Structure 1
Amino acid sequence: MAQFSFRQWLQKTRESRILVLIVVTVALFVDCILNTVIAPILPTLLIGKNTSNSSVVSNYTFTLLPDNSSKGIYQLQNANGTQDGECYTKGKENSDGQDFRIGLLLAFKGMLQIVANPIVGVLTNRFGYDAPLLVGFAVVFFSTLMYAFGEQYVFLCVARGLQGIGSSLTTVPGLALLANTFPDDEERAKAMAISTSGLTVGILLGAPFGSLMNGSFGKSSPFYVLAAVTLLDGALRLCILRPSKFSPGSIPATPYLTLLADPYILVTVVGYFLTKLHSSLLQAIVPIRMMEHMCAPSYQLGLAFVPAMLTTILTLNGFAILSLKWGRWLCLMLGFIIQGIGIICFPLAANIFGLIGPSIVLGIGTALVGASIMPLMAYLIDLRHTSVYGGIYAITDAAFCLGFAIGPLFGGAIASAIGFTWVMVILCVLLIIYAPLFILLRNVSGKDEKKPILNQENTPEEAKSDDQ
């Protein structure tokens, strides 16, 4: 009897749309926080190995100086109490030659994920969501443990590559499952906003979480915590998924080349790439700039993004509702312009407190874009192609990964060549110039007249059969 009751509970749980939303949100959060948590750890880990100290700034404290000081609000003071300028000099000398190694390690995950995404998209369309999501959990958990125990550069690269494969097996089927579970556009917009908040919070929380845990408890501590969260995520996935279930789709998927040839999808995907490109650039070069120019200790290296994270959390769901009234194209356009304004203000900061304002502005722009981009992808598929979502989210995630690969890989070299300020100027100009292109999404033409909005009580399978 107890076994029968447990089976009934498990069957009811697997049919819960709310639990599906929770599982996908937690999965995206874990994936993204693991992606960015290592960014503030690497400069102190790699640069510190080239010095006699464990960290460039470990033997220094900071003294508050008058605002008219030529060195800004913070000035270096060594352990003997004499003030000097060695923090900037040491940081610059020791970081020379390390930018590319840091960027390559950060980009390696995205490179492998770009290769894996088309394969995972095809597998998701053919065999369903269950098996890829469960395999993805196992791979991500194993790569998290590798981060915790590894210190050699090559070992960290292997962990980063495995994480990329696990991320592909999580993100593509997860977003496709969510789009399939919520067929109504308004419901889907709200669900996607919640799941995107998990993605965005993971991206923005990773850097401050990594820097605080690294500074307080050591390099391995954040990965132990994330391994525990990953286990919780795996338990949640087991509640809704069937490991042995293979469910071939009844509707043929749209080929990748057809999707990429769609001008509306192309404008949206390129825009998504640009917004992730600037995010990855900031997370790769801001910690190094803080070490070189602000004499920031290791625990502060990720705190610059805390205001952006809090702003995004507070505004994302509200912007998801507003995007249905204003239009997603307008939210995307405003989001790009606001992000550009926030980015151009980063070089004006002389210390960590000066980064608060630009970070808040950046968070508002990120929330506007995040509330619109994912539901818009599914909407374009429903309107112009067959309602099979593995392919479109494979392309979307590939754009995400490309941005997070190019940014850290070349960001350090570009910043060294032309300076941090010019990198921010170029990003600002790119975002503001690209923003008007979203006007093209104002009136999207469908291949047929748009189908009526499906009833809420219909299941995705019933809804699709009704449309055929």
Structure 2
Amino acid sequence: MAWLHQTRRSPRLVLVVVSVALLLDSMLLSVVVPIIPMFLYTELRTPLPCPDGPGLETVSSQFPSLRPNPQTSQPSLLPQPSRGAPILDTQSELTPWSSPPTDTAESSCLQDSLVLEEENVHLLLASKALVQLLISPFVGPLTNRIGYHIPMFTGFIIMFVSNIMFAFSGTYALLFFARSLQGIGSSFSSVAGLGMLASVYTDDEERGVAMGIALGGLAMGVLIGAPFGSVMYEFVGKSAPFLILAFLAVFDGVLQLCILQPSKISPGSVEGTPLLALLKDPYILISAGSLCLTNTALAILEPTLHLWMIETMYSPEWHVCMAFLPVGIFYLIGTNLFGVLANKMGRWLCSMLGMFIVGISLLCVPFATSIYGLIGPNGGLGFAIGMVDSSMMAIMGYLVDIRHASVYGSVYAIADVALCMGFAIGPSTGGALAQAVGFPCLMVLIGMVNILFAPLCFLLRNPAVREANVKHELDEVTLVLKPE
């Protein structure tokens, strides 16, 4: 018991708890991506009936051997290499050994059914970010009132329930609800977790290192989540990966009960700055804008890159999955490396350079002619986003210290909303913009937006300190030096 009492005072164990929570959250985020589309396409497909013709299943079964031919540009139907549904490819034609549909209405109905399924999948996957975007502004002020421990534990409970629902849900509505529930749990875990770290690591340099490590846990979850989910779904089944994550969530909950002390990591008697007052702070807006734009770049790339690779490189499905591997690896390196280096170089400089590198990486993506040509741009993108995330998360805590009350729930709610806006805007607009202006032009547009925004980070070099905070610090120093 004495050992437990001593360990509860350790900020490092708080860092472990927060890192594990972010790891599990990001693993669930990415585990769902390869599993749910396959499950919906193969197990829950409800084809639209064609007028005076067969349904989707019948039409699909009549033409099982459609393959791309890179020599022409006539449309064809490509089946997924495993258990997925066919997708439409505009850069290929029917091979001589297959017969095209003779009924235009049947072909049109098939395409409409596939488009409807694709939209439903995107809506389900995007529901997490949209719900998190709506919930986070309420979680921040809540942590200011009741502390970080209870919201953090609430996030664990919600994430556990979400995993169980994913494991046993067999309808689109239940899966949609589970994904939305995950967004609520993520709001509680991320806002309370980051606020907790900022409160226990009062030294600015140590705080930056801790933020980098915690974001490294998030990156690790994204990196291993999709391969883990894909392999488990293929060889064990849909329920297995979610049950394993539910078990790990219980482990995280036990860690929270054993390690976290509400009295040690709650805001105490200090009244936090209102959320609207923080939103009026130009320095916080610049920080949130950097987080939003850099993550929007990745979020837009995710739904558009695979189609561009299929159309221009005729890439197999495993190439498409591997294309994002450098992003996760270099993001993990960037967050951990610049959690330490950013304080020495200047976090504003790391953020500005990161946004420049994001822009340049996006400009280079359309020049790739194979998957190997994407290693550099995607690796640079992940590395640069890691630079920005680790620097800006620490900067936002520092801005609250020097310009507002040192209560961090609301400011990290703003950071969480900025991230969620990026991942809500990307999937919802990426496909439409790519069709409207073309994938290369879209990369130029998003890249230039990041490059043009980057100089604003210079304003974070020496942010103005508010007089009230200076007076408060002087009062604290006077109390310490005053003889009894």
TM-score relative to the length of structure 1: 0.82
Distance 1:185 1:78, change over 3 A: closer
Matched, 1:254 2:248: no
Structure 1 unaligned spans of 5+:
1-6, 455-461
Q: Distance in 1 between matches of 2:464 and 2:324?
A: 39
Amino acid in the other structure paired with 2:14: V
Q: Does 1:444 align with 2:438?
A: no
Amino acid in the other structure paired with 1:9: W
Deviation sequence 1:159-212 (CA, Å, 0-9, x none): 011111111111111111100000000111111111111123334444444444
- Greater relative contact order, per chain length (Cα 8 Å cut-off, separation 6+): 1
Amino acid at match of 2:414: I
How do residues 383-462 of structure 1 correspond to structure 2 at under 5 angstroms? 383-448=402-467
Any residues of structure 2 matched to 1:68-467 within 5 Å, and which? 85=93, 95-241=114-260, 249-290=268-309, 301-448=320-467
Please point out which of 1, 9, 13 is paired with 1:15: 9
Deviation at 1:251, TM superposition (A): 0.8
Distance 1:246 1:186 in 2: 19
Q: Tell me the amino acid that sits aligned with residue 192 of structure 2.
A: P
CA deviation string 1:58-102 (max 9, x = no partner): x88999x9xxx759xxxx9999xxxx8569x99988753444323
Say if 1:114 and 1:398, in contact at 8 Å, map to a contact too.
yes
- Deviation sequence 1:134-178 (CA, Å, 0-9, x none): 111010011012222234322121001111111111111111110
**How many Å apart are 1:260 and its aligned residue?**
0.6
User: Structure 2 residue aligned with 1:35, among 29, 49, 57?
Assistant: 29
SS in 1 for 2:33: coil
Distance 1:303 1:105, change over 3 A: same
User: Aligned partners of 1:44, 1:464: CA distance in 2, in Å?
Assistant: 64
Percent identity at matched positions?
A: 43
Amino acid at match of 2:252: D
- Give CA-to-partner distance per residue, 1:308-365, whole Å, 9 cap, x none: 2222223432222221122111111111111122223333444443432222111221
Partner Cα distance (2:149, 2:94) in 1: 55
SS in 2 for 1:96: helix
Tell me the residue number matched to 2:88: none
Partner of 1:345, secondary structure, is: helix
- Max radius of gyration: which structure? 2
User: Which whole-Å CA distance do the structure 1 matches of 2:317 and 2:478 have between them?
Assistant: 52
CA contact 2:290–2:388 (8 Å) conserved in 1? no
Q: Is the 8 A contact 1:346 1:358 kept in 2?
A: yes
Matched residues in 1 for 2:111 and 2:367: separation?
A: 20
CA distance in structure 1 between the aligned counterparts of 2:401 and 2:183, rounded to whole angstroms: 28
Mapped contact 1:100–1:412 kept (Cα < 8 A):
no
TM-score by length of 2: 0.79
Q: Distance in 1 between matches of 2:255 and 2:205?
A: 26
Quote the RMSD (CA, aligned, Å).
3.7
Q: Output the CA distance in 1 between the equivalents of 2:331 and 2:246.
A: 25
Contact 1:216 1:299 in 2 (8 A): no
Task: Supply the AA of the counterpart residue of 2:298.
Answer: S
- SS of 1:15's equivalent? coil
- Distance in 2 of aligned mates of 1:344 and 1:212: 33
SS, match of residue 251 in structure 1: coil
> Which secondary structure does the structure 2 equivalent of 1:252 belong to?
coil
Number of aligned residue pairs: give it. Answer: 439
354-363 or 33-42, which moves further after superposition?
33-42
The CA deviation at 1:52 is 4.2
Counterpart contact for 2:334–2:384, Cα < 8 Å: no
AA partner of residue 165 (structure 2): M
- Distance between the aligned counterparts of 1:167 and 1:44, measured in 2? 24
Counterpart of 2:284 in structure 1: which amino acid?
A: I
- How far apart in 2 are the matches of 1:327 and 1:351? 37
CA distance in structure 2 between the aligned counterparts of 1:204 and 1:162, rounded to whole angstroms: 22
Shift in alpha-carbon separation, 1:277–1:204, aligned structure 2, 3 A:
farther
8 A contact 1:190–1:321 mirrored in 2: yes
Change (3 A) 1:430 1:445: same
- 1:3 corresponds to: none
Which moved further from structure 2: 409-418 or 357-366? 409-418
Q: Tell whether the 8 Å contact from 1:103 to 1:410 is kept in structure 2 after alignment.
A: no
Please give the alpha-carbon distance, in whole angstroms, between the structure 1 residues aligned to 2:242 and 2:370.
Answer: 29
Distance in 2 between residues matched to 1:344 and 1:97, nearest whole Å? 32
Give the secondary structure class of the aligned counterpart of 2:395.
helix
SS in 1 for 2:398: helix
Partners in 1 of 2:29 and 2:266 — Cα distance? 30
Alpha-carbon distance in 1 for matches of 2:166, 2:306: 20
Flag the 1:77–1:385 CA change in 2: closer, same or farther, 3 A.
Answer: closer
Give the AA of the match of 2:299.
S
Q: What CA distance in whole angstroms lies between the structure 2 residues aligned with 1:38 and 1:250?
A: 41
Q: CA deviation at 1:275?
A: 1.6
User: Is the CA contact 1:346–1:355 (under 8 Å) kept in the aligned structure 2?
Assistant: yes
Amino acid at match of 2:362: I
1:24 aligns with 2:18: yes
What is the CA–CA distance in structure 2 between the aligned matches of 1:14 and 1:439, rounded to whole Å? 39
Aligned 8 A contact 1:332 1:369 in 2: yes
Structure 2 CA distance for partners of 1:229 and 1:282, relative to 1, 3 Å: farther
